[in-house]
Structure 1
Amino acid sequence: MPDSGLEGLLRELSPQVLGALVRRYGHFDLAEDATQEALLAAAAQWPGEGLPDNPRAWLITVASRRLTDLLRAEQARRRREDTVVQWTLPEEHLAPAADRLAADSDDTLILLFLCCHPSLSPASQIALTLRAVGGLTTAEIARAFLVPESTMTRRISRAKTGIKTSGVPFGMPPEADRAARLDAVLHVLYLIFNEGYASTSGPDLVRSELSAEAIRLARIVHRLLPDDSEVTGLLALMLLTDARRPARTAPDGTPVPMSEQDRSRWNSEYIAEGVALLSEALPHGPTGQFQIQAAIAALHDEAPRAEETDWPQIEALYELLLRLSDNPVVSLNHAVAVGMARGAREGLAALEKLDDRISGDHRFHAARAHLLEMAGEGAEAVESYVEAARRATGLPHQRYLHGRAARLRES
């Protein structure tokens, strides 16, 4: 098997193995260490010896043996320290075998619920999800979020400790809590995707490794919950949005507005898949936020030219979205849609009605500058572009906004 194929297989099996160990033995932290050692053993042995008949069972067996060693060492240490805590070794458990498939759900999904437990902060949820379910190393996650590896190590350690102290069992959430807990999982995947697609800090506009990982995890959740329309909607939204990534940046790394992008560079396969998923989701169940956002993205993607974008329909969809979510970014996007559908002056009037939650954000000032430019108010537009650049945290956005201001001054 090629190295890329082996790496993909191990990344797919990693959360299943970790989930199986945690389900049977508990001890999330030690189970993860044992899983990583089993994956390293597979990476070393399988290229030369060939794949075992059941790769998942092989990994679970090796990881279980290693977990036994780790627990024995921990138990011995605790005995030496005369602690009263006595941990049960794996062979003393009466739980089902770890390599037995879970009867009513997939361990990967349960692991996602665990990593996105409400007792954890959003930053911890994201870090633990990428580490435990995504299979990224701590160093890779730290690089993706532009923090020192030691900082990310502490963040992940705190998350594991939080799960341990919460006492939450490894299993599907109770039926009464399941919808809210699934919403938390989808929100975390959405945050991971957004940070990859439109980085909020650092020198690069796009961190494709994060958006690609979010899509991969969303595909897993969709495979496990194919009848959930919001899961389908989130995957459709990611695909329809990421389809535009090849045309989003100029050679110098600055963002290219959608109206100026070369649409021939958009990923037509992602667009077709996203539209098909959206068509599948909308007739089933209540219409949620991700489905509406996906419908907006589809309208952008299906327009042959920017001038042919159906802005009145996009405005209507944002109005529907506002009924479901009191999100200031949605309000901002709705104001822009009003300006594009009805004229810049009406868009500016809608902007003025927004509250302080968004008025300090660089996106508010960038939108205001764009609408002022459309309205022919060049001097005010320059001021707003400069103010947006001052408030932006990402270097590509700062360069782009200063560039827009400079072009207006010269015109």
Structure 2
Amino acid sequence: MVVRVVDEVCRREGGKVLAGLIRRFGDIGLAEDLLQDAYARALERWPRDGLPDNPAGWLSTVARNRGLDILRRAARTLDDSAEVLARLEALPALEASEPLPEAGLEDDRLRLIFVCCHPALHPRAQSALALRTLCGLSTREIARAFCESEATTAQRLVRAKRKIIEAKIPFVIPTATDLPGRLAIVLQVIYLVFNEGYGATGGSRLVRTDLCREAIRLGRLMQHLMPGDAEVGGLLALMLLTHARSAARVSDLGELLTLEEQDRSRWDRGAIAEGLAVLDAALALRRPGPYQLQAAIAALHARAGRAADTDWPQIAALYRALQRYLPTPVVQMNAAVALGMAEGPRQGLGALKHMAAMETSHYLHAARAEFHRRLGELPEACAAYARAAQLAGNEVERAWLQARRADILSSLPAA
């Protein structure tokens, strides 16, 4: 029971607590160690003392006091302790009973995004660091998301943390003049956080609502910082319109439901209305970009009262336009799926044929499987579903793929 509570607090509040620790101690590695130590102490004390009224505040206070102890010991043992003493001066101790202060917390995670997105870091390292610090993903989960070895991801994270210290990257939101040059990667990282929430890389939950809401909150903060930027509005609209479907993506039994299977009365109409309004305001600025195009695609799904009403030809056209901005394998795959939905499964399969860069993605094989199924090519569908299930890291997605394959197998004549 306590393990589950600690895990839930970790997933829901870990990014906020970690961001506050990084702001105070200026060292991501130390902050992570302090938070892990606080988790261990929670597992030891909470069964005995009971769950605190503010679990995240308890973790933050314990971690920060532990950090102060470490710095004090370092100041006593190091010959040149001036820097350590200076840091101690800026870090007043907190009593264990003191509640978590709220002032400044809302911006800590935005500051952390700008640290992760600093141009001194390699682009892949920026994304990996954001997934680690903001999403709380393990090194293994990040490696799976990037289709690389766990050792490569671990080295990337170590180098990024070292670079932040060596380059003295400040834990601040850049000035207005510096914001535009950092905007693209910041928006990308916020969307990366959202995507991890909307379709978790691993684990037993398909949707991590905490991450979706956090990404949307960060999107709102970015819109406040840059109210006249069309792509900032496009990203916020995209997240609102997409997250509006979250409650309908899983059945009461915890099973995945596709767009065609979802009960659209469970879609969040308030979020859809807000998303459409934000998108209209962004489009009115007449500065098109990839997030606005993706939001327009999401808007077409949101406006369809039934799956049969979906304007797939228009979605396919928008994906063709999106490929000019983002000629990536993922966009190419989504464009192929949209083509198949608009013009027929044979056309979709043809478009999905040559995608070597996506061969390790379960989404590619699931798309192929679905088009084979619609064409009545059941053995090919079974093979593709099996391969997709083998590659899927999320338990909900894997169970759906396995069930889909089992349904087809049961309909095949006995050998």
Distance 1:408 1:128, change over 3 A: closer
Contact 2:114 2:173 in 1 (8 A): yes
Q: 5+ residue gaps in structure 1?
A: 1-9, 37-65, 94-100, 131-139, 148-152
Please give the alpha-carbon distance, in whole angstroms, between the structure 2 residues aligned to 1:378 and 1:16: 50
| Code of the aligned partner of 2:234 | G
Distance 1:225 1:18, change over 3 A: farther
Contact 2:109 2:134 in 1 (8 A): no
Deviations 1:22-78 (A, max 9, x none): 7xxx94669989xx9xxxxxxxxxxxxxxxxxxxxxxxxxxxxx9xx889948843x
Alpha-carbon shift at residue 323 of structure 1 (Å):
0.6
Deviations 1:349-385 (A, max 9, x none): 1112x33101332111111111112222223222221
- Asked whether 1:319 is paired with 2:350, we answer no
Alpha-carbon shift at residue 117 of structure 1 (Å):
2.1
Alpha-carbon shift at residue 279 of structure 1 (Å):
0.5
Contact 1:71 1:87 in 2 (8 A): no
Give the alignment of 1:238-257 within 5 angstroms: 238-257=239-258
Contact 1:127 1:155 in 2 (8 A): no
Contact 2:132 2:142 in 1 (8 A): no
Distance 1:15 1:185, change over 3 A: farther
Deviations 1:200-237 (A, max 9, x none): 21222122222222222222222222212111111111
Give the alignment of 1:386-405 within 5 angstroms: 386-405=386-405
Distance 1:156 1:371, change over 3 A: closer
Alpha-carbon shift at residue 141 of structure 1 (Å):
6.4
| Code of the aligned partner of 2:338 | A
Distance 1:161 1:318, change over 3 A: same
Distance 1:92 1:316, change over 3 A: same
2:225 maps to which residue? 224
2:129 maps to which residue? 124
1:39 maps to which residue? none
Give the alignment of 1:158-237 within 5 angstroms: 161-169=162-170, 178-237=179-238
Please give the alpha-carbon distance, in whole angstroms, between the structure 2 residues aligned to 1:330 and 1:191: 15
Please give the alpha-carbon distance, in whole angstroms, between the structure 2 residues aligned to 1:176 and 1:338: 42
Please give the alpha-carbon distance, in whole angstroms, between the structure 2 residues aligned to 1:336 and 1:30: 41
Contact 1:196 1:209 in 2 (8 A): yes
1:381 maps to which residue? 381
Alpha-carbon shift at residue 336 of structure 1 (Å):
1.0
Give the alignment of 1:213-362 within 5 angstroms: 213-352=214-353, 354-362=354-362
2:51 maps to which residue? none
Question: TM-score normalized by structure 1?
Answer: 0.70
Distance 1:187 1:12, change over 3 A: closer
**% identical equivalent positions:** 42
Alpha-carbon shift at residue 185 of structure 1 (Å):
1.4
Contact 2:75 2:85 in 1 (8 A): no
Contact 1:229 1:282 in 2 (8 A): yes
1:368 maps to which residue? 368
Please give the alpha-carbon distance, in whole angstroms, between the structure 2 residues aligned to 1:342 and 1:127: 40
| Code of the aligned partner of 1:127 | R
Query: Does the residue aligned with 1:231 lie in a helix, a strand or coil?
Result: helix
Distance 1:308 1:31, change over 3 A: same
Contact 1:348 1:371 in 2 (8 A): yes
Return 164-173 or 211-220, whichever deviates more. 164-173
Query: Does the residue aligned with 1:232 lie in a helix, a strand or coil?
Result: helix
Please give the alpha-carbon distance, in whole angstroms, between the structure 1 residues aligned to 2:351 and 2:15: 46
1:56 maps to which residue? none
Deviations 1:158-203 (A, max 9, x none): 7654322112345565888643422221111111111111112122
RMSD, aligned α-carbons: 4.3
Query: How many residue pairs end up in the alignment?
Result: 347
Contact 1:233 1:277 in 2 (8 A): yes
Please give the alpha-carbon distance, in whole angstroms, between the structure 2 residues aligned to 1:162 and 1:265: 46
Contact 1:128 1:159 in 2 (8 A): no
- Asked whether 1:82 is paired with 2:87, we answer no
Return 303-312 or 372-381, whichever deviates more. 372-381
Alpha-carbon shift at residue 245 of structure 1 (Å):
0.8
Query: Does the residue aligned with 2:352 lie in a helix, a strand or coil?
Result: helix
Contact 1:75 1:86 in 2 (8 A): no
2:96 maps to which residue? none
Alpha-carbon shift at residue 332 of structure 1 (Å):
0.9
Please give the alpha-carbon distance, in whole angstroms, between the structure 1 residues aligned to 2:18 and 2:379: 55
Question: TM-score normalized by structure 2?
Answer: 0.70
Please give the alpha-carbon distance, in whole angstroms, between the structure 2 residues aligned to 1:349 and 1:160: 44
Distance 1:228 1:199, change over 3 A: same
1:96 maps to which residue? none
| Code of the aligned partner of 2:199 | A
Contact 1:115 1:129 in 2 (8 A): no
Return 329-338 or 177-186, whichever deviates more. 177-186
Please give the alpha-carbon distance, in whole angstroms, between the structure 2 residues aligned to 1:12 and 1:386: 35
Please give the alpha-carbon distance, in whole angstroms, between the structure 1 residues aligned to 2:392 and 2:20: 42
2:55 maps to which residue? none
Return 233-242 or 283-292, whichever deviates more. 283-292
Query: Does the residue aligned with 1:230 lie in a helix, a strand or coil?
Result: helix
Contact 1:113 1:182 in 2 (8 A): no
Please give the alpha-carbon distance, in whole angstroms, between the structure 2 residues aligned to 1:32 and 1:360: 34
Distance 1:16 1:125, change over 3 A: closer
Query: Does the residue aligned with 1:260 lie in a helix, a strand or coil?
Result: coil
